[in-house]
Structure 1
């Protein structure tokens, strides 16, 4: 074994011993009388003062929030004055916080936004992604077209980055960690989480993704819920309200973010890769952050639904809730089991 690999193995084992083993069982999947699967993880609920109201697992567990923190990455777009100068609407701001699926409703708005900026698909640094939306995907296949960067689920966020870069008269490589856009993103991220980030990873869209504790992420979302008179508070309120007004732009049809926001009006929700999920609840001035240890999306969706039910902002028998947390049916409609939360 090479020295580099030995070092990696040691670091990995140390991480498992000090961090991941602090996770707690949170989601169970039953088939009949048999416990078929169990998902461990962490969850934190914070109030607007940054205090932890409830927690499971380790609140100080450090994670990469992935796309769950897009509202934080969009803050400089608003606080800089770039959004106002460009005349961006709530629909643009919702898309800046989105992980959309490349449906026409998403792609057309991205293309229109690019046109406003005088930019093209080639100016994106997010990479090409095949649309997850079935009609959009089928259209590309039937017309023998290739996917473009504007189909990327993060293209709305990158429109925001391009807008900010143009406003700052900065260079085209807006995704690089030392670019003024990403410096502004990090400053906003650390201010909202109340933490100095220990580092970053490069996300699927090539932008830096800053690490924080789960408590820090929940604290940031509670600040978004409370808003405030300061520039970050005002910007957070504007972005949060845009997400709630346009849940169809934040994700898309059949997606958890969109369906659960429709089921729980007045709540902003955002998923992230590797089973991270956040909730912003203005009515309670509270924020939630969850992370499932094994990266299973079904578990993070079930857990966020369970927490919304626990806090009284989602009806337990709503179809959007039951789709993530409740009876499991097979292809013939027979109930075969149950997915439940251990809260």
Structure 2
């Protein structure tokens, strides 16, 4: 693989600037004909773990089995099933409510627990001398959706994370079909203990195209675009993109430098993968790509408090003084940009 230099961190001012950090990665844009219309860096079609960016595709099983109808899932509930949420009080309440619909409890979740990313909820737990629980896990929505599907289908809820469980087999079959893979994808274990598929970046984009453009799965796209902060949280890259996208952009991040953005009207999918997993670099590269593609305007980024913070390229010291700059050093080819001129 040959990743491309995408971001430079330079410290200093004026002419006295020195490169401090270099961030490499891949940018891929896939169109509705499944053609790569832009590719930055040569990934040699190598497979990468889909991580949490796979969640909307994993949620397709709820639609196929009509679990969302059986349990009368709301848009917010479907959004959190597709999410990597921040563990706010509202997120936790939604998870508990989803489980209760099937007579389940947080004890049935096998995702493990971590402190909430939401600062307000984290402080509340500390003040109340309470421990974080499995619903605070940012993957608990996905797990709740998996358990609900098992309850609907009569599948064993105790072994739902086993790769040979009928739930996981059905999910991987959907991934194969949606992502147009020749065979079932290889799987590895995610941080939340669930199996995740491993596939090339191009096929990740194809998966989003086939999912979002299929009316059968319209409830998924509506849930995410209409509830962007349920599908993530304040300050989350994917949530802020969807909030600024006016219902036209669907975004989902994945751990270790991954982000997928689907433009519904343009029928194109953008995939960003930072090889060093740096979150700030991922944010700048993704937002810069959206600007160059004209999926988001300069004004849309500047007027969005969340996006402006994520795209902020000033390096500041502890006194708030500018000490350097973050530079995007890539430019999308005319083969993509000309379509939007």
Tell me the TM-score normalised to structure 2 length: 0.89
Moved more, 28-37 or 107-116: 28-37
Shift of 1:198: 4.7
CA distance in 2, matches of 1:72, 1:175: 16
1:58 is matched with which residue? Answer: 42
- Aligned-residue offset at 1:259: 1.8
2:192 maps to what in 1? Answer: 205
Is residue 264 of structure 1 aligned with residue 249 of structure 2? no
In 2: Cα distance, 1:107 partner to 1:326 partner:
30
Alpha-carbon distance in structure 2 between the residues aligned to 1:71 and 1:340: 32
Q: Is the 8 A contact 2:315 2:326 kept in 1?
A: no
Q: For 1:40 and 1:305, locate their aligned partners in 2 and report how far apart those are by CA, in whole Å.
A: 16
Structure 2 partner of 1:73: 58
Whole-angstrom distance in 2 between the partners of 1:197 and 1:157: 21
Q: How far 1:79 sits from its partner (Å)?
A: 1.4
CA displacement, residues 5-48 of structure 1 (integer Å, 9 cap, x when unaligned):
xxxxxxxxxxxxxx3xx111112222232222111111211112
Gaps of 5+ in 1: 1-18
Q: Which residue of 1 aligns with 2:202?
A: 215
Secondary structure in 1 matching 2:20: strand
Matches within 5 A, 1:104-143: 104-143=89-128
Aligned match of 2:219: 238
Q: Map of 1:289-328 to 2, 5 A cutoff?
A: 289-317=271-299, 318-319=301-302, 320-328=306-314
Aligned to 1:250: 231
Alignment of 1:147-186 (within 5 A): 147-172=132-157, 173-186=159-172
Give the corresponding residue for 2:176. Answer: 190
Q: Which deviations, in whole Å up to 9, do the C-alpha atoms of 1:180-207 show, x marking residues without a partner?
A: 1111110111111111355111011110
**1:76–1:184 contact (8 Å) kept in structure 2:** yes
State the aligned residue count: 317
Aligned partner of 1:8 in structure 2 is none
Report the counterpart of residue 339 of structure 2 in structure 1: none
Counterparts of 2:220 and 2:62 in 1: how far apart (Å)?
10
**Equivalent residue, structure 1, for 2:338:** none
Give 1:289 deviation, angstroms: 1.2
> Equivalents in 1 of 2:85, 2:277: separation in Å?
20
Offset, 1:89? 1.3
Q: 2:188–2:196: 8 Å Cα contact kept in structure 1?
A: yes
* 8 A Cα contact 1:327 1:335, kept in partner: no
Q: What root-mean-square deviation, in Å, do the aligned CA atoms of Structure 1 and Structure 2 show?
A: 1.6
Work out the CA distance in 2 between the residues paired with 1:29 and 1:337: 7
Q: Which runs of 5+ in 2 are unaligned?
A: 332-341
State the secondary structure of the residue aligned to 2:21: strand
Alpha-carbon displacement from aligned partner over 1:118-138 (angstroms, at most 9, x marks no partner): 001111111112111111111
